[in-house]
Structure 1
Amino acid sequence: MKVSVYIATSLDGFIARNNGALDWLPGIESADAPEGEDYGYHEFMDSIDILVMGRKTFETVLSFEGDWPYGDKRMIILSSQTVSIPSKVSDTVESSSCTPAELIEKLSEEGFQHVYVDGGKTIQGFLKAGLIDELIITRIPVLIGSGIPLFGEADTDIKLRHLQTHTFPNGLVQSRYQVI
C-alpha cells in the first residue's frame, strides 16, 4: 500500500491561518496560470482509492461552496472526538479514532492500494508513525506570517529523497519527495 500527501503550503510553511482559513489560496489564480491547470490534482485523485482526513480539515472542506469535491471516493475522518457527518456524504464518509498504524493495517486488509492523507495533525501523526511514502508539496508564493504548520516536532529526523520539482508561470513550485 502506498500512502501519499498532496498539499499546498505558503512559502513560510503554513497550510492554513491559525483559525483554519485558506483565504490566501485563491490568490494563486492569475493571468500567468495556464487555463485549466490543476497542478496534477485530478491525476493524483485518480490514482488514490481512499482518503484519510483530520476532523478540522473535514470541517473546513464542508464549509466550501459547491459540490462535494471528492465525489464518491471513500473517506475516513481520523479524530479522537465525535465527528458530525452530514447525510449528503454519509454514504462515503466515516470516522475512526484508531491510530494511524491500526488504520493502515485495516485498510491494507480491505485491499486498498493508495491512501491520500490530508490535514496538518493527521499528516504529522502518519509521518511520526513512519507511514507516509510520498509527499507532494505545492508552495504558494505568499508569506502569511503565522498559521498551522505542515510539519511539527519530530522524534527523529525524517529523511526524504527529492524526486522532482515543477515550476508554474504563476510562481507555484511543486516538489515531490519520497520518504526514505
Structure 2
Amino acid sequence: MTRKLIYGMNLTLDGRIAAARDDIGWSGPPSEELFRWWLDQELANSMSLYGRKLWEAMSSYWPTGDQQPGATPAEVEFARNWRDTPKVVFSSTIDKVGWNTRLYAGDAVAEIARFKDEDGGPLSIGGATLAGAAVRAGLVDEYAVVTHPVLVGGGTPFFSALDSWVNLNLVETRTFPGGVVLARYETRR
C-alpha cells in the first residue's frame, strides 16, 4: 500500500497561488473556518514536502506563530504541529533548514516516489515547481483546490504545464465564508 500524496493550496479564481513578484497578499487572513480546515489537513499529514519558496514563506512565520500577540488557539495548534511534523525541503539553492526539516538537493521525483512507497500516513506537497514535477510524474493522488474570489491576472499558476491529461473524481466541495470554495479531487487511476 502506498502513501497518499496530496497537493493543496489557496489559489485565485484565475488559478494563481501567487500574483506577480510572488505576492500572496491577495488571500488576506483566512476565515476561522477555513483556517481550521487547513489545520485539520495538517494534523492528518505525516510529512510535508516543500519547494524552496513555500518553505521560505512558512518558515518565516510558523516557527513562532504560537508566540505572536493575539494568536488564536487554532494558530497555536498549527504552529506547534508545523514544528513537530517532519518536513523535507527540495532545493539546491539553500543550505540550511530547521524545525524537524531536512534538505534534499537530488532527484525530487525519485525521492517523492520513495516516500510514497514507505509505510505511514499521507504526505502533503506544496510549491508550484515541486508539485508540478510530482503531477507530471503521476505521483499526486489528491488535489485540494481552495479558490478565493479574486483575479490577479498573472503570477505563479497552481497547475504547471502537463505532458498528458490527468483524469479526476470530485470527492468533496465546500463553501467557506467570504466566497472561498474548496473542491477536492482524487486522481482516477
Question: How far is 1:99 from its partner?
Answer: 2.8
Evaluate the alpha carbon distance shift between residue 108 and residue 14 of structure 1 in structure 2; reply closer, same or farther with a 3 A threshold: closer
Contact 1:50 1:112 in 2 (8 A): no
Contact 1:18 1:146 in 2 (8 A): yes
Equivalenced residue count is: 171
Structure 1: state its 5+ residue gaps. none
Question: How far is 1:122 from its partner?
Answer: 0.9
Q: 1:83 aligns with which of 68, 73, 94?
A: 94
> What amino acid maps onto 2:95 in structure 1?
S
Give the corresponding residue for 1:25: 27
CA distance in 1, matches of 2:24, 2:54: 11
| 1:138-177 to 2 correspondences below 5 Å | 138-177=146-185
CA distance in 2, matches of 1:63, 1:19: 17
Question: How far is 1:158 from its partner?
Answer: 1.0
Structure 2: state its 5+ residue gaps. 66-78
CA distance in 2, matches of 1:21, 1:143: 13
CA distance in 2, matches of 1:47, 1:129: 24
TM-score (norm 1): 0.85
| 1:85-164 to 2 correspondences below 5 Å | 85-86=96-97, 89-90=98-99, 92-108=100-116, 110-164=118-172
Give the match's secondary structure for 1:173.
strand
Evaluate the alpha carbon distance shift between residue 72 and residue 168 of structure 1 in structure 2; reply closer, same or farther with a 3 A threshold: same
Identity of aligned residues (%): 24
Evaluate the alpha carbon distance shift between residue 50 and residue 128 of structure 1 in structure 2; reply closer, same or farther with a 3 A threshold: same
Evaluate the alpha carbon distance shift between residue 73 and residue 144 of structure 1 in structure 2; reply closer, same or farther with a 3 A threshold: same
> What amino acid maps onto 1:73 in structure 2?
T
Question: How far is 1:113 from its partner?
Answer: 2.5
Give the corresponding residue for 2:76: none
> What amino acid maps onto 1:175 in structure 2?
A
> What amino acid maps onto 1:139 in structure 2?
T
